[in-house]
Each structure stands twice: as C-alpha cells, then as structure tokens.
Amino acid sequence: MISQEKNSGSAATPDVPVKIDRAHPVTLREVAEAAGVSTATVSLVINKKKNARIAEETRERVKDAIRHLGYRPNAMAKNLVSGTSKFIGLVADGVATTPFAGQIIHGAQDEAWKHGYALLIANTEGNLDLEKDAIAMMLEYKVRGILYSTWFHRPTDVPETLRESDFVLVNCFSPDSSTSRAVVPDEAQGGQSATEILLRGGHRRIAFINTTTPAPAKDGRLKGYQDALEAAGIPFDPSLVLEAYPDQEGGYGATEELLKRNVSAVYCYNDRMAMGLYDGLRENGLSIPDDIAVVGFDNQEVIAAHLRPPLSTVSLPHYELGAAGVRMLLGLDKSPDGNLVKISCPAVERASVAVHSAA
C-alpha cells in the first residue's frame, strides 16, 4: 500500500490503483492516516455529507486515499446508522423446479435495483424449516421488506415471523386479505384472452380442457372461458369442459374424450397439456390448425414457441409480478385495488390457430 506522510498537505499521489491485499482489507483508519485527517472526517466524506464543513482540498485528499488504497466502505456499518439495509428479501419456493420462479426473481431484481435495493434471495423448495430460518436471517439483516412468492398461484398461510417486516405476497394470497398485500395473475382475464384467440379465429364450438388439480387458476380460467363465450353470444355448454392432469400425459390422455365432442377448437389449461394433446391428435391423423385449433396457457419457455406448429397461448406475467411486488412494497404505486393487485396475462398468437378469413 502507498503510504502517505501524515499531514503532508499534498494530494500528489500517482493515479494508479494499488494491488489489493485480500488478507488485510483496508480500514477506515488507514484511509484517515493516508489522507492526514481524522476518521470522523473520512466518514463524513464517504457518506457525502455536503453540509459538513470540509474543505474541498481535504475532500479530494480523502477520495484520493480511498482510491489508491482500494478501500471499500463497510456497508454493514453504514446500515447500522440508517436503520434498514439496502436489501429486500425474497422467499421463493421453486426456483430450481420451474422456470417461473426465475422470472419472478428477474422482475423483482430489476425493479429493486432501479430503486437502489438488492435482493436477498432464499430458495426454500417448500421446506418450512428453511423458510423459517431464511425469514429470521432477513429480519436480522434489517431488510426493507420481504417478498414471499410461490411458483404457482395459490392461497398461502402467512408465516408469523413474516409480519415483523413489511411484506408482499407474490403469486400467492392470504384468505385474510385485510392484513396481507398480494399481487397475483388475473386468471379470469387470461382465460378470457385465450378463448378470444379462438373466437377471433372464427371458432364457435370450443372445448376447454381444465386441470384436475384445485387452484385459483382452475376456477379463474374457467370463468374467463365462460365470460368470453357469453360476450360472443355463445351459450355455455358444460359438456365441452373436460378435465385432465396439467401436464403432457394428461393432455395426451384426454384426446379420445375430446374427439367425441366434435369441436373445431380447444383451449388447454396449460402449454404442457397442449404438448401432450398435439401427440394425441397427431396419432389420430389430425392436423393443427387445419383440423383443430389449439391454444395453451403459460407461454412456457422451451415449449410453446417450439411445438410444431408453434402454440398460441397466454403468458403468465411472472416478471411483472416480481416487479409489481417490489413497487407495492416500496409504496410506489397507488393501489386502487387495495390489498390485492391482479396483473394482466397477455395473449401470444402463433400458428396453432389459423387466421380467420371471413367467408
């Protein structure tokens, strides 16, 4: 390290950063000695206290010393003064198992960064002990607040300790919404969008293969399908609603039942189901979209755009959910919807539904 004579009064240090000695990180005291000032003065310069009476030349001397010594402020010390750290905690339960949680993180992180916060991410994979420890850790690090997210849209218990912090539920909600803020996808609007893709294609006899698994998406997407039919003046026919497990095997297995319904179009609960249905339809000698149009839901990476033909679908807005969660936590949006904010699911039109040419 370059040594400076104490009180030398000279700022003529060469403009070359020194090699960092990792075993001995530079201390605030060493900066003070190098600049010939007190540690209090160094602290005032680092924290950019403009109203402090420090001569410009002194300020420059301190900054030079910081640069040449390679000093890094101790963020933890700074935060002791301010009260909270520049972290926002994010508890996620399925980062490794699905691509969805990754987009929630992405959106949350981008939004947090814009406002000077970094994310402290804990991935619990549903392990409640790990979850408890993670929240405790975030509280100890005085996070500004915590985003509690789930990889699929569902109701959740709110861990008691979460209430020691500001928090927002992301992609999940508490039955007791009066004490919890949440941001979720608008499943009904999404289901309506999916059905509308098919209505725009000129279809009127449209099946819906819903999931067997209970979930807000199950009720929401069905409602959206019904709302779209009603708006188009098409009577709702319950026999056109089937159910299957929400993956490829479920979609494949539903083919036989579907073909009995003699529809020209089908809306599948999700893209994975549509992928399996593609196999089933193909095995029956049918071609998409000419014999039957297909719409999915999720716009799942590596599937929807790459099926043959590419699948029309509705996007789950995970990135926007993460970003909205951060904005809600930081109080950046007015929330006309109060404690539960619903984010729109945009339609993504591809080749699995033919463009309608009016006869």
Binding-residue total with its own copies (CB under 8 A): 61
**Spatial CA neighbour of 207 closest among 247, 186, 238:** 238
The reply on whether position 245 binds its own copies by CB under 8 A is no
Query: Which contiguous run of DSSP H or E holds residue 243?
Result: strand 241-244
Segment contacting its own copies by CB under 8 A, of 30-38, 90-98, 192-200, 325-333: 90-98
The reply on whether position 123 binds its own copies by CB under 8 A is yes
Give CA–CA dist 86/88, Å, rounded: 7
Q: Which of 42, 46, 88, 105 binds its own copies (CB under 8 A)?
A: 105
CA dihedral 266, 271, 273, 276 (to 10 degrees): 100
Whichever of 39 and 264 has its CB closer to its own copies, that residue is 39
The reply on whether position 75 binds its own copies by CB under 8 A is yes
Instruction: Pull the structure tokens for residue 354.
Output: 């033919």
Whichever of 2 and 136 has its CB closer to its own copies, that residue is 136
Q: Output the 3-class SS for 319-333.
A: HHHHHHHHHHHCCCC
**Spatial CA neighbour of 347 closest among 237, 224, 207, 264:** 224
DSSP single-letter state for residue 32? H
Residue 292-311 contact track with its own copies, rule CB under 8 A, x = bound: --------xxxx--x-x---
In the block, residue with structure tokens 């993670």: 134
Question: At closest approach, how far in Å is the CB of 135 from its own copies?
Answer: 11
DSSP single-letter state for residue 93? S
Residue 165-204 contact track with its own copies, rule CB under 8 A, x = bound: xx--------------------------------------
Give CA–CA dist 279/200, Å, rounded: 25
| Order of strands, sheet of 293-295, starting from the edge strand that comes earlier in the sequence | 241-244, 206-211, 265-268, 293-295
Question: At closest approach, how far in Å is the CB of 151 from its own copies?
Answer: 10
The reply on whether position 324 binds its own copies by CB under 8 A is no
The reply on whether position 73 binds its own copies by CB under 8 A is yes
Angle subtended by helix axes 28-35 and 39-46, to nearest 10 = 100
The reply on whether position 137 binds its own copies by CB under 8 A is yes
Question: At closest approach, how far in Å is the CB of 225 from its own copies?
Answer: 24
| Residues of this chain that bind its own copies (CB under 8 A) | 20, 22, 70, 72-77, 79-80, 85-86, 95-99, 101-103, 105-106, 109, 113, 118-123, 125, 130, 133-134, 136-137, 139-142, 163-166, 247-249, 252, 272, 275-276, 279, 282, 300-303, 306, 308, 319
